[in-house]
């Protein structure tokens, strides 16, 4: 709320200064009718600026950007303020007759909703006090109700009304920017439901920025690009992160701004890109480090290697740019080629390498010379599991001398294993959650995960379920009549013909067992899907007394995954052993072939957050 008020007051000052400068214009040219009422003019202008700014804030939620709201409000005020006020002034001339004067009064009442109309109406009416025959306010004092009293009250009502409307819609909180700032819809940039951990991270970062600690610190850091029309298009909303000296993992769906963030941190944004906010590394501003070639290592999302250079020459090039002497450079090249399994390709030109080896070479170029900050944009893309392990080993070894590492990745396993801190970006570039892998899983994983593989249903189970419903039984018999040796015509009518029921009875007696027991349902049949859905529902009903918020989160063939939200916390929570015992005792009754119970995985949390972001 403090920030919103401060932003509002800043916008007021930006508009108030040029508005009040008009008073100096009036005084300088000695416009007599206005010089005598400078105090009233000042009141009108101040109330107008306050009310019109509140009007813009109230309309923010109806537009895609603050600039759109401001421009639309200015256009509306131009129509209602100048043209409507001029129309009222003309219609109010006494000799035009009572009808025109009455119409002027109606337009006046409608125009009172607009701050611009109230101001224009007062400015046009003030000269009428000394214009005989052109107005019915001739001879009245300027402070009279009909001259400036009613417009002043209208402006005061506008201020209260639009302020209350803006607070109700929380438009200011939604945008968290002044009306002079441009950009895309920032409706979720500062959501009303900002996660507590994000708020805590912001507060911790604000405290840290007073005396930046070791490692990476970002304060209200945002990224935007300039459009062809010259307006700024934000791709990353202001975020505050106290990353420290470990590995910061950046997760998010495609288009959430991960690559833009890493390019900004590495100083590799295109000319159309710009950043706002604060960024420190070991207490030093990150912008100053970009001037040093050896301070930041960057692995872009797409390989950017120099054709014609060998693996060794590529690494040596970046090493020399970072100021390594020949002895250290040789040791670095040999170590990186060994650790990343590139020894066999040292003399191979980069364009002749496989995609995976090119990726490892790009990472080697980012790591050589141990720059203070390393930014890796999806470094493991296209790597096999062994190559990923080699890269992880290189990062862990380098971390002893690096100040900070930032990784944007789509590999959840990689983020879980490597990163000391994780952040999740939403589709519109906002920070959704932040914390360690364990903290995020505990916060959003919701207890335990039950993965149950159901037994394959037989036709007998479906038959037992539908035998009491003639229509359902008929549909079932039609679907499997050819497997029972029954003619299609025998099951073409409803209700189920007596001869069909008799045929089923004789068939059961001849086999001595339930006739459907040995018949399996087709994999993708509607009967199979319906029976599996009934089993899932029975499992949820059985476990609901222990887990009232149980959810089915995944259904693939016979596999069913349930999220078990424990209603008790801490020592009172259900023990895993008790949970296994409860499921085991119901295993046969619920038709479960096998099952496992685990803590919710980071991948599940990622998918859950991604679904919420749609």
- Strands 559-564, 448-454: pairing is antiparallel
What CA–CA distance (Å, rounded) separates 230 from 311?
42
pLDDT number for residue 319: 93
pLDDT (0 to 100) of residue 387: 92
- Quote the pTM value: 0.56
**What residue ranges in 414-468 does DSSP mark as E strands?**
421-425, 431-435, 448-454
Together in a domain, 506 and 543:
no
Domain identity same for 146 and 226 = no
* Same domain? 89 vs 24: yes
- Is residue 37 classed exposed, middle or buried when 0-12, 13-18 and 19+ CB atoms within 10 A define those classes? buried
DSSP 21-70: HHHHHHHHTT-HHHHTTHHHHHHHHHHHHHHHHHHHHHHGGGSSSHHHHH
Token pair of 149 as six digits: 């009293």
Together in a domain, 438 and 464? no
Same domain? 434 vs 559 = no
Pair 326, 379 in one domain: yes
What whole-number distance in Å separates Cα of residue 509 and Cα of residue 412? 57
Other C-beta atoms closer than 10 Å to the C-beta of 342 total 22
Asked if residues 426 and 432 have their Cβ atoms less than 8 Å apart, the reply is yes
Contact 379, 359 (CB under 8 A): yes
Which of 144, 175, 206 lies at the terminal end of a domain, its last residue?
A: 175
Taking the C-alpha atoms of residue 499 and residue 108, their distance in angstroms, rounded to an integer, is 86
In angstroms, what is the C-alpha Rg of the chain?
36
- At 160, is the secondary structure helix, strand, or coil? helix
Between CA 290 and CA 562 the distance in angstroms is 48
149, 250: one domain: no
Which pLDDT value is given to residue 408?
94
**312, 264 Cβ separation under 8 angstroms:** no
pLDDT tens-place string over residues 194-213: 888 999 999 999 888 888 88
Residues 360, 340: Cα–Cα separation, whole Å: 7
Residue 364's nearest CA partner among 550, 345, 352 is 345
The domain spanning residue 546 has which CATH number? 3.30.70
Q: Are residues 357 and 383 in the same domain?
A: yes
Q: What does the alpha-carbon distance between residue 45 and residue 26 come to, in Å, rounded to a whole number?
A: 13
Do 230 and 119 lie in a common domain?
no
CA geometry: angle 51, 52, 56, nearest 5 deg: 120
C-beta neighbour count of 168 within 10 angstroms: 10
| Parent domain of 291 | 196-443
519 within domain boundaries:
no
Q: Structural domain tally of the chain?
A: 4
Confirm whether 266 is domain-assigned: yes
* CATH number of the domain encompassing residue 309: 3.40.50.300
* Beta-strand runs (E) in 262-337: 273-281, 284-285, 296-299
Q: b/e string for 59-71 if b means 16 or more Cβ within 10 A?
A: bbbebebbbbbbe
Q: Tell me the C-alpha distance between 91 and 285, whole Å.
A: 63
Using DSSP's 3-state secondary structure scheme, residue 294 falls into coil
pLDDT per position as a tens digit, 117-145: 888 878 777 776 666 555 566 667 777 77
Assess contact for 348 and 305: CB atoms under 8 A. no
Q: Are residues 382 and 486 in the same domain?
A: no
- Kind of pairing, strands 592-599 and 448-454? antiparallel
What is the DSSP pairing of strand 421-425 with strand 247-252? parallel
Bridge partners of 597? 450
Considering the domain boundaries, does residue 70 fall inside one? yes
Phi-psi region of 603 (alpha: psi -120 to 50; beta: other; left: phi over 0): alpha
**Within a domain: 326:** yes
Whether residue 464 sits in one domain with residue 418: no
Low-confidence stretches of the chain (pLDDT beneath 70): 1-8, 10, 14-36, 60-70, 80, 128-139, 168-193, 229-230, 446-447, 458-525, 527, 566-575, 614
Q: What are the structure tokens assigned to 208, written together?
A: 């840290």
Question: In this structure, is residue 330 part of a structural domain?
Answer: yes
Q: Which residues contact 357 (CB under 8 A, 6 or more apart)?
A: 342, 345
Residues constituting the chain: 614
Contact in structure between 433 and 273 (CB atoms under 8 Å): no
Question: Could you tell me if residue 141 is inside a domain?
Answer: yes
Domain membership flag for residue 518: no
Q: Which residue has the tokens 């025959």?
A: 133
433 and 330 in a common domain = yes
**Residue (of 367, 376, 369, 343) closest to 357 by Cα position:** 343
Q: Write out the two tokens for 534.
A: 């009934």
Distances (CA, A) of 74 to 79, 163, 174, 591: 9, 17, 21, 68
Among 51, 323, 60, smallest CA distance to 171 is for 60
pLDDT at residue 474, as a whole number: 63
Residue 190 lies in a domain: no
Spatial separation of the C-alpha atoms in residues 337 and 182, rounded to whole Å: 47
Alpha carbon separation from 94 to 3, 91, 100, 130, 165 (Å, rounded): 51, 8, 9, 15, 38
- 526-543 and 459-466 helices, crossing angle to 10°: 80
């Amino acid at each position: 709320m403090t920030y919103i008020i401060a932003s509002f007051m800043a916008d007021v000052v930006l508009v108030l200064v040029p508005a009040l400068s008009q008073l100096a214009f009036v005084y300088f040219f000695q416009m007599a009718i206005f010089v005598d009422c400078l105090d009233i003019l000042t009141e009108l202008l101040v109330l107008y600026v306050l009310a019109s700014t509140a009007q813009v804030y109230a309309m923010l939620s109806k537009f895609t950007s603050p600039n759109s709201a401001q421009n639309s409000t200015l256009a509306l005020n131009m129509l209602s303020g100048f043209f409507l006020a001029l129309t009222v002034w003309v219609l109010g001339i006494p000799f035009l007759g009572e009808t025109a004067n009455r119409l002027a009064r109606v337009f006046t009442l409608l125009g009172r909703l607009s701050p611009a109309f109230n101001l224009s109406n007062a400015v046009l009416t003030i000269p009428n006090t000394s214009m005989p025959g052109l107005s019915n306010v001739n001879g009245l004092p300027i402070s009279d109700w009909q001259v400036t009293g009613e417009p002043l009250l209208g402006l005061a009502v506008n201020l209260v009304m639009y302020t209350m409307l803006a607070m109700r819609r929380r438009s200011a909180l939604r945008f968290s920017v002044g009306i002079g700032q441009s950009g895309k819809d920032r409706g979720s940039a500062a959501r009303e439901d900002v996660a507590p951990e994000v708020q805590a991270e912001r507060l911790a970062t604000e405290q840290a920025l007073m005396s930046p600690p070791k490692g990476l610190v970002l304060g209200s850091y945002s990224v935007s690009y300039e459009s062809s029309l010259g307006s700024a298009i934000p791709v990353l909303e202001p975020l505050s992160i106290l990353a420290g000296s470990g590995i910061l993992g950046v997760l998010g769906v495609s288009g959430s701004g991960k690559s833009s963030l890493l390019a900004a941190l590495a100083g590799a944004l295109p000319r159309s890109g710009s950043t706002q906010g604060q960024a420190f590394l070991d207490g030093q501003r990150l912008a100053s480090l970009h001037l040093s070639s050896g301070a930041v290592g960057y692995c872009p999302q797409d390989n950017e290697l120099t054709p014609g250079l060998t693996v060794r020459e590529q690494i040596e090039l970046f090493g020399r740019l970072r100021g390594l002497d020949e002895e250290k450079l040789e040791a670095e090249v040999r170590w990186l080629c060994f650790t990343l399994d590139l020894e066999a390709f040292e003399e191979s030109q980069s364009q002749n390498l496989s995609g995976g080896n090119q990726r490892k070479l790009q990472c080697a170029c980012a790591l050589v010379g141990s720059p203070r900050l390393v930014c890796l944009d999806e470094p493991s893309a296209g790597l096999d599991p062994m190559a990923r392990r080699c890269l992880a080993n290189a990062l862990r070894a380098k971390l002893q001398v690096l100040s900070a590492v930032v990784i944007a990745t789509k590999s959840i396993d990689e983020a879980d294993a490597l990163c000391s801190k994780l952040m999740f970006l939403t589709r519109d570039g906002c920070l959704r959650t932040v914390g360690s892998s364990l903290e995020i899983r505990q916060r959003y994983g919701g207890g335990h995960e039950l993965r149950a593989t159901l037994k394959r249903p037989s036709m007998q189970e479906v038959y037992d379920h539908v035998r009491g419903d003639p229509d359902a039984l008929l549909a079932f018999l039609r679907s499997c009549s050819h497997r029972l040796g029954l003619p299609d015509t025998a099951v073409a009518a409803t209700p189920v013909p007596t001869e069909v029921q008799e045929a089923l009875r004789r068939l059961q007696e001849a086999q001595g067992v339930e006739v459907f027991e040995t018949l399996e349902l087709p994999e993708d049949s509607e009967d199979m899907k319906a029976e599996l859905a009934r089993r899932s529902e029975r499992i949820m009903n059985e476990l609901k007394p222990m887990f009232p918020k149980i959810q089915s989160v995944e259904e693939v063939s016979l596999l069913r995954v349930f999220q078990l939200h424990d209603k008790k916390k801490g020592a009172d929570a259900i023990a895993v052993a008790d949970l296994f015992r409860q499921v085991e005792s119901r295993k046969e009754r619920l038709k479960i072939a096998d099952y496992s119970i685990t803590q919710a995985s980071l991948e599940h949390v990622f998918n859950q957050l991604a679904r919420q972001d749609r």
